Structure 1
């Protein structure tokens, strides 16, 4: 009997030890959980309003993660310069702040490769938003590590603009909405492929450009080549390739798309670009000025004919937003009424500590300067709702910080 009791006690000790070991929290990794933000309101945070954020957390590992919670971090002070926005987007930690009182409901277990929603809600008056400006917010996922203490397992950063009513003068924002595609038509009118047809069909890139503009106050920028291609496709067209002629199938989509374009352009300002957006800088260097002149001087008339709406202005839009003084003179002499360049092409001299107005002149030609910060925000990935929201918040942060640089001096940016 004694031997049996010893054996049973030994067995219980072994089993007990094994159970305790398997239940102990395992070592967690800092990026084991991916947290996305798919909703953040209000767009214009003000005193008396409530901050609401929600999204999903996803277990990226091959093991369960337990005892999770999402909590809101807030930078102690607003950012000082616009350059810090890019630093934060790139993963910079200098503006990371401590946790706030805003936390999600606990998540007991998250299985491998699975996701679950989270949400946070807190009155903005309860956050330490001491000064007007753009704050960095972090959505931090914490779990329980092997030492039993809370440990970060995921983090996403975004921005919270905080400008109570009357604290700054609003920034004027000019939206240029380009409508163009890669030229895919031969000189004899034969379509080289069905790329343009696919882009004009419902859900295609050109179709989305028109539908997503909605009622926003924008300036349409039309490439006459794209409009003429749509017009030519409506009555039927041939496709290149093979010994026998192949008839394209994109006529109905082109007709529907062009009708939508005409309806949209009837109520908004429109400008034309040079035909097929030529690489004017390269052509000017190759002494092919006549090609640029021909593409520019009839652009407004061609766009007017296709839209059935009078268009008088021609926007010179060099490839990449940069060019040479010779090309700028060429565009001006060819009849361009405005030019769009990157703000890095014509920087302010001497350098300024704030964002200057995005409109200037060069040799008598009005020049619009595309803001590099806004361009970077629009270039961010937007394939998912979470990515789109991060891009939106960066865009809002760029605009808000521009206003905050000189609160009493409104400026315009492109």
Structure 2
């Protein structure tokens, strides 16, 4: 009772309100930079990391208290001890600077206690950053299409492209004419599912167009599949459902052949890239055969390997899950799998089922895209773990307040 009284007094104090506003501002800006510039580039990556460091230093005692609490042992093992073990093992094989450049992403999960402490609506922050991403893609395509600013002369896209945070092109081979692929564009799938669930037509259209104009086959296919399945199975009115099925059938008959022709065209155009990607897998395992111990502990975070298909040494490829095994070994990848699988409990709650299924879609896309071990990926995990926590809070009795995790 005394602890609850102290917590209530603290939450009503002016200092609490000030700290909450400061943290919300820092987390919002950091999230936007982490999503728009996951690969970083000069000042952008420094700014992103500086913001993360500022949040951690500002809330150091809160974070320490959270991870020292026995109730949070699982998160302590996954986000404190596991990255520390990876750091120690990797530093025996790879330059420490390269290891730190990879290992630091675990620090994004240290923001979780801050979100809990100040009851910050991180869903709003996270979805807003994704809306900015989708809007940037769609507006850029429309500006090019209707004679405003061309894709190749768009200063924002040029910056993102040259810094390795986007791939931009206009091509007749592209299914919808554009490839405006921002590295975080697969996250738009989450916005799509959330908007459909909330019956928000405007953001649903924005999300679909964002995925279409991103230009990648995985994004386009997932956008179509998710939209069709939602309209068929989640629309309650049988009349509307029948109408939707008829509209889908008519659209398929009218535009299906043209769409498939474009799909065949882009498949033909991508055949060389697909071949290079497929030939990378043997190169990954060849690099591990040089040291049999690598199968267990990996080659180390930030390590490089030779890929004949790519014509030189590379630090990574599109095969996210194979790259995890290469860098962490079977043991480390197994532990990391726990990090990826725990948020699937969101599927158990009707309120968060939309998020659980969109996360499943993200994991599917990540099979052939390098999205798992990045700042964007960890920002997503932060969002998911906070939503899991929120579910737990709603099931607690009044005798177990949310801030009890800081005892």
Q: Shorter-chain-normalised TM-score: which range? A: under 0.3
Structure showing the higher strand proportion among its residues: 1
Relative CO higher for 1 or 2, CA cutoff 8 Å, sep ≥ 6? 2
Structure showing the higher helix proportion among its residues: 2
